[in-house]
Homo-oligomer: A and B are copies of this chain.
């Protein structure tokens, strides 16, 4: 049985839960509260970054949401979700990179700063001006693509959707005005219509 270590407020964890649900992969979930439990030697042995999500499968721990999406696609999803031809795989990977960069350091950080910042929260001393710059760069790249395509990569849903949906969907918590992004809003509706879709708290 696959085991997913997750956090209730973790957008990166939602990406994995969403993909497992869309594929219908049975799994168990272990919730780790945000805080010192992420920094125990036992948990750091699972993930040296001290973060959720972590996926335990075949006796191995895989950390990082992007790596976990790739693992699940290869183990359970097949080429439909992550093609193996060079150009197709690279096209999907571009959006996984944007999710790790602009969406995480932009939207996820803005959301933490505005909603969930704790007194000893070393993770969130990023400034808001920087977050806004990254949000605009990331959403503009997505809007440009989605203005003329239904899906981010190729002509179908791929793990690019699983990687890039959650944080834009949390736009309210990050106080982002989505008016300039009609194509992203229409695309989010298409993602929500995928069989097996599950929402995240706050979206």
A interface SS class:
helix
Which residues of chain B are within 8 angstroms of A74 by Cβ–Cβ distance?
A: 84-86, 89-90
Asked if B125 and A62 make an inter-chain contact with CB atoms under 8 angstroms apart, the answer reads no
Residue of B nearest to A45 (CB): B144
Asked if B87 and A71 make an inter-chain contact with CB atoms under 8 angstroms apart, the answer reads yes
Q: How many copies does the complex hold?
A: 2
Asked if A87 and B58 make an inter-chain contact with CB atoms under 8 angstroms apart, the answer reads yes
Asked if A89 and B70 make an inter-chain contact with CB atoms under 8 angstroms apart, the answer reads yes
Which 3 residue pairs are nearest across A and B when measured between Cβ atoms?
Answer: A71-B90, A74-B86, A67-B93
Residues on A lying within 8 angstroms of B by beta carbon are 48-50, 57-58, 60, 62-68, 70-72, 74-75, 84-87, 89-91, 93-94, 96-98, 100-102, 104-105, 122-123, 125-127, 129-130, 133, 137, 140-141, 144-145
Given A49-B98, A49-B141, A66-B97, 4 other A-B residues pairs in contact with their CB atoms under 8 A: A48-B140, A49-B137, A70-B90, A125-B130
